[in-house]
A and B are shown apart, each in its own frame.
Chain A
Amino acid sequence: MGFLPLALPLAELEVGQHLYWQLGNLKIHGQVFISSWVVIGALLAFVLVGSRKMERDPRGMQNLLEFLWDYIRDLAREQIGEKAYRDWLPFIGTLFLFIFVCNWGGALVPWKLIHLPSGELGAPTADINTTVALALLVSLAYFYAGLSRKGFRYFEYYVEPTPIMLPFKIIEDFTKPLSLSFRLFGNILADELVVAVLAFLVPLLVPLPAMVLGLFTSAIQALIFATLAGNYIGEAVHEEHH
């Protein structure tokens, strides 16, 4: 990117630079945590305000909360199945809400107004650490779901319908978190980069369609991640009927 006039004051592109915080001898990405706390704070504030006074006849924010809950329940029930979805509803719902609010927060909050010594604020899901963490949580979740529901019979899943499937199913356990994390990371980062590059080249109006498209893909990515997580858990708890 050396050919871009980096001296322009309007927008700058910083990729792969982080605000490092030292925690003992561990290093963490400060900008990810700052924006994730903002996102989590907004989410909790919304939930707290909405569920403060719940009645049988919903009014105001309660309607929105119930709509969300219903949406997430349908998602979880469809993917996991009638029997086990209740246990996993909070996990799937949290994944959906967290990713959704992260993605939209990255696109809607004017982070660039806050200057950091190094790196820049943005969607927490545009950092590979966040998406890998979420994807590994999904892996743990479906292993736990399968083992807790079926015990060691869970491993029958690897040789069904035929033992030939064994290597593929083992590879799947690695590709699932890989594809989950990289899909989310890639989409959100690419969206931020496209918007940043467009804003860098033509600051007015031109980036707007890309931003709108970014909002759309952000929402879709949250839905895809939650749906796939539910699907994996559903696969793990699925009972074969012989």
Chain B
Amino acid sequence: MTSWLLLGATEGGLFDLDATLPLMAVQVVLLTFILNALFFRPVGRVVEEREGYITTSRAEAKQKLAQVERLEADLREQLKEARKATQQLIQEAEQDSDKLYREALATATAEANASREQARREIDAQRESALGQLKGDADKLGALIVDRLLAAQ
């Protein structure tokens, strides 16, 4: 234990450099190549393939999302137009029915007025003829009374 720090003066010691060094270096270089073949390259390939897959999938998803958004906007536009068209149709129909109603009402009112006028005129005519007849009858009756009275005397 006394010579354990001697720098390679005798055999042994902490700093005993010998052929272990180059052999270890060769061993590590070999290990590098073996690990490269067994570990770094295959695992790297798998990881990078996955990264590529994820990137392309993301890009695809993004593209699809954009497409969906475009379609949605398109459909929304169509829906809006359809709503507008419906509104217009309803309005037109309402206007039509209103017009029809007014027309029907107008004709009905006109007809009613006309028939009332006619009835009034007929009533007037009948009343006049009845009055004329009544007057003639009264005259005749008067003349008859006068004749009878005069004849009795």
Measured CB to CB, the residues of A under 8 A from B are 1-2, 15-18, 20, 23, 26-29, 32-33, 36, 40, 43-44, 47-48, 51, 54-56, 58, 62, 65-66, 69-70, 72-73, 89-91, 93-95, 97-98, 124, 127-130, 132-134, 136-137, 189
- Contact, CB under 8 Å: B12 / A133: no
Answer whether A133 and B35 are a contact pair too, CB < 8 Å, given A17-B12, A51-B43. Answer: no
- Contact, CB under 8 Å: A137 / B28: yes
At the interface, is chain A mostly helix, strand, loop or mixed? helix
Residues of chain B within 8 A (CB-CB) of A36 are 24, 27
Which chain A residue shows the least CB distance to B53? A56
Asked if B149 CB lies within 8 Å of chain A CBs, one says no
- Contact, CB under 8 Å: B42 / A128: no
- Contact, CB under 8 Å: B40 / A28: no
- Contact, CB under 8 Å: A51 / B39: yes
Bitwise, B80-122 to A at CB < 8 A (1) or not (0) is 0000000000000000000000000000000000000000000
- Contact, CB under 8 Å: B18 / A16: no
- Contact, CB under 8 Å: A26 / B25: no
- Contact, CB under 8 Å: B19 / A91: no
- Contact, CB under 8 Å: A54 / B43: yes
Interface centre among B24, B34, B41, B46 (most CB of A within 10 A): B24
Residues of chain A within 8 A (CB-CB) of B14 are 15-16, 128, 189
Answer whether A134 and B28 are a contact pair too, CB < 8 Å, given A15-B14, A16-B4, A20-B11. Answer: yes
Q: State which residues 1-16 of B face A: CB under 8 Å.
A: 1, 3-5, 11-16
Residues of chain A within 8 A (CB-CB) of B49 are 56
Interface CB pairs A-B, < 8 A, 28: A18-B12, A26-B18, A28-B18, A29-B16, A43-B35, A47-B35, A54-B42, A54-B43, A55-B46, A58-B46, A66-B43, A69-B39, A69-B43, A73-B44, A90-B32, A90-B33, A90-B40, A93-B40, A124-B24, A128-B17, A129-B18, A129-B21, A130-B24, A133-B20, A133-B24, A133-B25, A133-B28, A134-B28
